[in-house]
Amino acid sequence: MKMLVGLGNPGSKYEKTRHNIGFRFLDLLAKTEGLSFGSAPRFQADTATTTMNGEKVLLVKPQTFMNNSGESVAPLAKYYDIEPSNITVIYDDLDLPSGKLRIKSGGGHGGHNGLRSLNQHLPNADYTRVKIGIGRPPSGDITPWVLGGADEGDHAVELRLFDALLPQIPLLILGERDKAANKIHQTLQS
């Protein structure tokens, strides 16, 4: 079994914030696949299950708030016996400009509190990261930026990235990161 995690904060207050880009992507994927999320209170998560390329895939939206995402993801991974290398995490990245997307495996948290929590609770940090750029604010504190709503331009850029990423999720699930990244890049260049 594989796990696809979208990071965000629960509740309608946060739905449209930059920080909830992972939740929005999983919502789009679920809609495309005809899935609906159900509550898994034991794991503090909303989950859905599907099959891609013959692999069973658990979609996870932690309901612990971003900074405690590992408290949801790690128990689910343990329960379903999913190694970190079989987990893909989609999240916002301040250090990437809006409209950019990067895929990598393993590494540190880079100051992202959701990843910090995952790294603390999972046995290792070998999961795949799909970083979706939100850019940094022109000045000042980053908290109002990440918890602020994206404007119409940001929304259009987000949808363009989602359209490029969505068809490549089956490749990512199979561990074909480079192939998926190349196809996404080609789509975004056209």
Q: Which residues are catalytic?
A: 19
At 69, list the tokens.
Answer: 């995402």
* Encoded amino acid at 56, one letter: K
The whole-angstrom separation of Cα 57 and Cα 72 is 16
Terminal-residue alpha carbon distance, the chain: 34
In contact, 159 and 29? CB cutoff 8 Å: no
Q: List the 128-133 sheet strands across, edge first.
A: 38-40, 45-52, 55-62, 2-6, 87-93, 128-133, 101-105
The whole-angstrom separation of Cα 143 and Cα 18 is 10
At 54, list the tokens.
Answer: 């013959």
